[in-house]
Copies of this chain bind each other. A is one copy, B any other.
Amino acid sequence: MPNPTAAMLVIGDEILSGRTRDSNMHHLAQRLTEHGIRLMEARVVADDHEAIIAAVNDLRARHDHLFTSGGIGPTHDDITAEAIAAAFATPITHRADAMALLQAHYDRAGLPFNEARQRMARIPDGATLIDNPISTAPGFTLGNVHVMAGVPSIFEAMLAGILPTLTGGAPLLSQSHRVNRGEGEIAGDFAALAAEFPDLTMGSYPFNTNGVYGTNLVIRGTDPARIDAAMTRLCALFP
Contact = CB atoms under 8 A, between A and B. Distances in A.
A41 interface: yes
A213 to B, nearest CB: 9
A18 interface: yes
| Chain A residues touching B, majority SS | mixed
Contact of A19 (B23, B174, B206): B174
A18 B14 contact: no
A191 interface: yes
A191 B29 contact: no
Interface residues of A, number: 65
Interface in A1-58: 12-23, 25-26, 28-33, 39-47, 51
A117 B26 contact: no
Nearest to A16: B39
A29 B13 contact: no
A115 B188 contact: yes
A74 B16 CA distance: 31
Contact of A46 (B40, B77, B120): B40
A172 interface: yes
Contact of A204 (B32, B46, B73, B218): B73
Contact of A43 (B30, B33, B42): B42
Contacts of A182: 111
A202 interface: yes
A128 B30 CA distance: 37
A106 B77 CA distance: 53
A155 B32 CA distance: 28
Contact of A205 (B20, B43, B111, B174): B20
9 contacts: A18-B29, A18-B31, A40-B46, A41-B46, A73-B204, A75-B203, A111-B182, A117-B184, A151-B208
